[in-house]
Amino acid sequence: MLYIIATPIGNLEDITLRAIRILKEVDYILAEDTRQSSRLLQHLGIIKPLSSFFEHNEEFKIPKIIDDLSEGKNIALISDAGTPTISDPGYKLIRDCKEKGLPVTGIPGPSSVINALVLSSAPRDKFVFMGYIPKKPGERGRFLCKIKANGLTAVVFETAPRLLKSLQAMAEELGECRLTIAREMTKKFEEAREMTVFQTIEYFQEHEPRGEIVIVIHRIEDKKGEKNVS
């Protein structure tokens, strides 16, 4: 069985009892960063073999993993933080398991996407997750145009060094939109700052952004509460 296991996004107490039990029972664990995962396992008192599994070795590793699963081994897949395969490697492994008829199950838990939505006041009856904002200006503009066109609350990832450029692009493409900037979630200095895009730009021009950042772009609504996609 392949177990897709969500791990804490910050606070190490945010892990389920089932996740702990499965991590103790599997034959080995696939980890995006073995050093990061070693700290979590040490905190939990778990001693298990770790095998690195990240973007640049994923396709090389998959055949051996498939062989081990075919022989009846139990394997866990975890990421550095949160739910694996969300903007992280893993979907190709799951695809190959499905093609081979090998069992796969998920152990639900922390997700920075869902946690950021919870911390915002954005409408979330319908929302879209768009992953990381592109680095190149042209691609970034087209990316933001798609968000504007679908008219839904959107959740995106961004790095601290690129945050201001992306905020300025949002101001140009989306206009007076409202944002929630969530950073350091579940940690001591957690922040979920909710302002217009222009206020957000002013704030981060004076305060250097740090940490892992999730941006919730609020759905634009008209006075009747209808979403505005014009």
Of 107, 132, 167, which marks where a domain is finished? 107
Q: Are residues 61 and 132 in the same domain?
A: no
Instruction: Print burial letters for 13-41: b (CB count within 10 Å at least 16), e (below 16).
Output: ebbeeebeebbeebeebbbbbbeebeebb
Question: What is the predicted pLDDT for the residue at 221?
Answer: 62
- Please report whether residue 229 resides in a domain: no
pLDDT at 199 over 60: yes
- Please report whether residue 226 resides in a domain: no
> What digits encode the pLDDT tens for the residues 123-161?
989 999 999 999 999 999 999 999 999 989 999 999 999
Of 81, 107, 133, which marks where a domain is finished? 107
Question: What is the predicted pLDDT for the residue at 212?
Answer: 83
Question: What is the predicted pLDDT for the residue at 87?
Answer: 86
Q: Are residues 101 and 116 in the same domain?
A: no
Number of domains in the chain: 2
Can you give the CATH number for the domain in which 52 is found? 3.40.1010.10
Q: Are residues 121 and 82 in the same domain?
A: no
Do 3 and 22 meet the contact criterion of CB atoms below 8 Å apart? Answer: yes
**Residues in a beta bridge with 76:** 3, 29
- Please report whether residue 48 resides in a domain: yes
- In one letter, which amino acid is 116? A
Q: Are residues 130 and 93 in the same domain?
A: no
Do 93 and 58 meet the contact criterion of CB atoms below 8 Å apart? Answer: yes
Question: What is the predicted pLDDT for the residue at 211?
Answer: 82
Give the closest residue to 84 by CA, choosing from 54, 64, 41: 54
Give the C-alpha separation, 150 to 8, whole Å. 31
CA distances from 48 to 4, 76, 95, 219 (A): 16, 10, 25, 44
Q: Are residues 126 and 96 in the same domain?
A: no
What is the rounded average pLDDT for all residues in the chain?
93
**Residues in a beta bridge with 227:** 221
Do 5 and 30 meet the contact criterion of CB atoms below 8 Å apart? Answer: no
- Please report whether residue 202 resides in a domain: yes
DSSP assignment of 23-73, as one string? HHHSSEEEESSHHHHHHHHHHHT----EEE--TTTHHHHHHHHHHHHHTT-
> What digits encode the pLDDT tens for the residues 13-52?
999 999 999 999 999 999 999 999 999 999 999 999 999 9
Give the closest residue to 48 by CA, choosing from 70, 77, 71: 77
Can you give the CATH number for the domain in which 209 is found? 3.30.950.10
